[in-house]
Amino acid sequence: MDPKLRSKAGHYEILGETHAKYEFFHAGWNPYSRFLDVDKVDLVLRRVGKNGPEYREVQVKFGKLYRVGPAWERRLFDVTSWRFFRADEFAACGSHLFIAYVLSEDDAYRGDLFIFPVRDFEGIIRRAPTAGGKHRVYLSRCKESSEHWVLRCAKKFEQVGGKSTLDVSKYRRNFGLLDRGA
């Protein structure tokens, strides 16, 4: 589909929620959409466990993946996504909330779903560089491995690691984090 036409097809958050519902369903959860997003809950997940029904609350965020441009980025990464967050964006949320961050290029969704406990995600936001009073959360896939994802903690750097990046690979497709519960 033509990218100009695709951008008119609907809100990207709806696409993210659709991908998330599919992924959670295949991970053994039954996703229910919330009608009103007044408390940062987009989906309620339900499954039957040993002791009866279990529930998880999820906020879904969508990030478009872009091919990296500048030469210094191309040496380290192949795709990246960025999004602005306030440092206190999730402060009023209980620690039971999960953030499902869906990343996708225009041409196809390739399973890049990250599941963050909300307090972990708050730490990630605080590590991201600030721009205009908000934190610019850059998540980038490393060229050396399609399984290696990092948060960029600096604006420009020569190598991945140290204080310049934070490894977020453990959150990619980690449905086991939902087992920690509320």
- Integer angstrom CA distances of residue 89 from 39, 60, 85, 121, 134: 11, 14, 6, 10, 10
Nearest to 150 by CA among 119, 178, 127, 175: 127
The answer, yes or no, to whether residue 6 has pLDDT greater than 70, is no
In the chain, domain spans:
3-180
Segment 36-83, tens digit of pLDDT = 667 789 999 999 999 999 999 999 999 999 999 999 999 999 999 999
Cα 57 to Cα 63: distance, rounded to the nearest angstrom: 20
CA 127 to chain centroid, in Å, comes to: 15
3-state secondary structure of 17: helix
Q: Which CATH class is domain 3-180?
A: alpha beta
Both structure tokens of 32: 């229910």
pTM: 0.89
The H-or-E segment that residue 63 falls in is strand 52-64
3-state secondary structure of 80: strand
Both structure tokens of 34: 């919330």
Cα 132 to Cα 45: distance, rounded to the nearest angstrom: 35
Phi/psi at 34 (nearest 5 deg)?
-90, 145
Per the prediction, the chain carries an average pLDDT of 91
Segment 76-109, tens digit of pLDDT = 999 999 999 999 999 999 899 999 999 999 878 9
> Which pLDDT value is given to residue 55?
96
